[in-house]
Copies of this chain bind each other. A is one copy, B any other.
């Protein structure tokens, strides 16, 4: 890979093409990369790594300030990556960057994250990919995340990432960039949501439910993703797509499942 030319970068997200985090990501990279944007036409949070096989995908052009901004796809984040690589690029982009997502993606929550899954989709195709999220849903200051990703892309572009590995980045939401204490390479922790189901009646008196949840944060090593962002560090977790539990293969063999 050459570092003389600007990298070609595909931007995607799960908050939808009109989300301010995507615009912030674009603004932070537009001078240092050749950018293509394909993003869902609306909110696709918590879609995980879902793909659309049983219905059509409609596409439209999205404009920002009367200027073409990107392609809006009526599909999931992973659909967007597949569509861009298959139908827009002649050769794959140098990088896929997904975000900037509102709401952190730490711990087990990475499994539900459309943001992470778009990065995973890039990595599945052998493209260095990064998912980036910020730890708030409101009053976001995207500047530290933008500064980080701008400084990171050339390092990633010049050295690449291991095949089948992506980076899951979480950035604390702070008023001033100076509040960020530093950047840590972290491990995925066990943070997850505890479900709460609201039980309600519809106008015909039939029961329905609405799921919400509260984040369960555990006391963990400061090398874990959630601990790092809570301590105002930017957290970078290398995520692998090979989910084989190699360390427990002997334990599983000892269950004797292979014998009748």
Contacts and interface: CB of A to CB of B under 8 A. Distances in A.
B252 A238 contact: yes
Interface in A175-229: 182-185, 187-188, 192, 195-197, 199-200, 202, 206-212
Interface SS, A side? mixed
B49 A258 contact: no
Contacts of A156: 255, 257
A237 B244 CA distance: 7
Contact of A50 (B46, B83, B185): B46
Interface in A63-100: 76, 78-79, 82-83, 85-87
Copies of the protein in its oligomer: 2
Interface residues of A, number: 84
Contacts of A173: none
Given A151-B260, A162-B245, 6 more contacts: A57-B210, A82-B211, A108-B241, A162-B252, A238-B249, A241-B243
Interface of A: 43, 45-54, 56-59, 76, 78-79, 82-83, 85-87, 108, 110-112, 114, 117, 120, 124, 151-152, 155-156, 159, 161-162, 165, 167, 182-185, 187-188, 192, 195-197, 199-200, 202, 206-212, 236-249, 251-260
